[in-house]
Copies of this chain bind each other. A is one copy, B any other.
Amino acid sequence: MMNPLQEEKVFKDPVHKYIYVQEQTIWELINTKEFQRLRRIRQLGTCFMTFHGAEHSRFSHSLGVYEVTRKIISQFERNGYEDWPKEERLLSLCAALLHDIGHGPFSHSIEKTFGTHHEDWSCRIVLGDTEVNQVLRKVSEHFPQQVAGVICKTYYKEIVVSLVSSQLDADRMDYLLRDAYFTGVNYGTFDLERILRVIRPFQGHIVVKESGMHAVEDYLMSRYQMYWQVYFHPVTRSAEIVLQKVFGRAKHLYEEGYSFAFMLPPLLSLFRKSLTVEEYHMLDEALMQTVLMQWSTEQDPILSDLCSRFLNRRLFKYVTLELLDAQQIERLRTTMLEAGFDPTFYMEIDFPSDLSYDVYRPGEEDERLPILLLDPNDGLTEISLKSEIVQSISGIHKGKYHLYYPEELLQVDPQFIPPDLRKLLDFET
């Protein structure tokens, strides 16, 4: 089923040095227009507002996930592990490469407002009338289905799924290293080669040999640090919230029949929940930013103001809430309204959930396959049962509520705002 290229192709990559392409199918997938579109979607959404280096795309990341997967499989093959199903190589590589193919621009904000799911779109692109689908069908008629199965975690061989999505998968291994590299922080730099040396296939799972426990602790600590220092950074969240308000406002206006001075077909279909695959293709980050720029001169003052805030990085200010007082929040809403800021579009209370390491909890949604240690005597054990460090990370819910609001609120006449709210908002007067 493999179809080697006559000559290996190579991409220069800052994270893995080189990315090696050895199969015709992979090469053709990279050259499809759907895959090239990933160049126009930033990997970290609004994070570049906090860490200016974070301007890398999902294209780079997707190549990276492919490369990590390739390395893992090579290691399995070189060591001749019998529990690795060799015939799944191409499927694994294709799924790794395409796992983010359905991602849109600023996914979180748009998915939240319009109810889309990037995983659904990945499957639609893999299965629909696309260049990607054509390339995959050349392998076999059922191949697109299999690739979609792996991406959506329904494929029957867990080992293939877990390569691409589990608690210790190629996806996370690449993005931790890549995001650390591009932001410039070095919390995320665990030792990839060390991890590769301690994992192996075992009875349908990918497991870690017990002497590799410290390597996994190191990896999980990197992840923990990245979550708190980068992914949940309140400035990034603030940009995210402004963006959600923009989309919320636009949707609201659309539903009220507002006539937009600037509108583009894919956006309209997004409002109408009637996006085709073809339109989705056009909905990249460039389009989104152009829309924001054009809307910054729309008639609706809220929409234009919010768009300007995002483009010019005049984000919302935030304060950490020690405790959440519903009544106080309610009074704040009223005060804001009176001060001329509609709280629906100018205020948000945000709680970062701790995703840093979730152990296996059967029945829960979105659960990922846990990390298993293999001990010659005890068999398989979930790692948090053996590592106190992992246990301490797993149990931590240190997220605090943050209140986001426009800085201008602080310039409102202090007399106007009750003293306790002034204190809440961190007035410096």
Assembled-state Cα–Cα distance A324/B51 (Å): 48
Q: Which residues of B contact A51 (CB under 8 A)?
A: 12
Question: Given known contacts A286-B289, A293-B282, is B218 in contact with A13 (CB within 8 Å)?
Answer: no
* B residues less than 8 Å from A282 (CB atoms): 293
- CB contacts (< 8 Å) of A57 on chain B: these are 52, 55
Is the beta-carbon distance between A197 and B388 smaller than 8 angstroms?
Answer: no
B228 in contact with A214 (CB, 8 Å): yes
Please state if B36 and A313 are interface contacts (CB–CB under 8 Å). yes
Nearest B residue to A388, CB-CB? B392
A residues 51-72 near B (Cβ < 8 Å) are 51-53, 55-57, 59-60, 63
User: CB-defined interface of A271-308 with B at 8 Å, one 1/0 digit per residue?
Assistant: 00000000000101111111001100000000000001
Given A286-B286, A388-B392, answer yes or no on A55-B52 (Cβ-Cβ < 8 Å). no
User: Within the complex, which residue of B55, B182, B187 is in contact with A191, where a contact is CB–CB below 8 Å?
Assistant: B187
Which residues in B have their C-beta under 8 angstroms from that of A31? 313-314
CB of B312 within 8 A of CB of A33, answer yes
Of the residues B53, B193, B264, contact of A56 by C-beta under 8 Å: B53
Q: Find A284's partner among B13, B33, B289 (CB 8 Å cutoff).
A: B289
Is there a chain B Cβ closer than 8 Å to A225's Cβ? yes
Q: Is A311 an interface residue (CB 8 A)?
A: yes
Contact-residue size bin, chain A (C-beta under 8 Å from the other chain): 35 or more
Cβ of A223 to closest chain B Cβ, rounded Å: 12
**Is A229 an interface residue, CB under 8 A from the partner?**
yes
Question: Complex formed: what's the CA distance from A59 to B56 in Å?
Answer: 14
- Given B53, B187, B229, which contacts A60 in the complex, CB threshold below 8 Å? B53
Name the 10 nearest CB pairs between A and B, nearest first: A14-B184, A392-B392, A286-B289, A33-B312, A290-B290, A286-B286, A14-B53, A388-B392, A221-B221, A12-B184
Q: A14-B184, A286-B293, A389-B392 given. 18 additional CB < 8 A pairs?
A: A10-B197, A11-B52, A12-B53, A12-B184, A13-B184, A14-B53, A15-B184, A31-B313, A32-B312, A37-B311, A52-B59, A53-B60, A182-B182, A214-B229, A217-B225, A388-B392, A388-B398, A389-B396
18 CB < 8 A contacts A-B: A12-B183, A14-B53, A14-B181, A17-B193, A18-B193, A31-B313, A33-B312, A36-B311, A55-B56, A55-B60, A185-B191, A186-B189, A187-B191, A218-B221, A285-B286, A287-B289, A287-B293, A392-B392
The residues of A with any CB-CB pair to B shorter than 8 Å are: 10-15, 17-18, 31-33, 36-37, 39-40, 48, 51-53, 55-57, 59-60, 63, 181-187, 189-191, 193, 197, 214, 217-218, 221, 224-225, 228-229, 264, 282, 284-290, 293-294, 308, 311-314, 388-389, 391-393, 395-396, 398
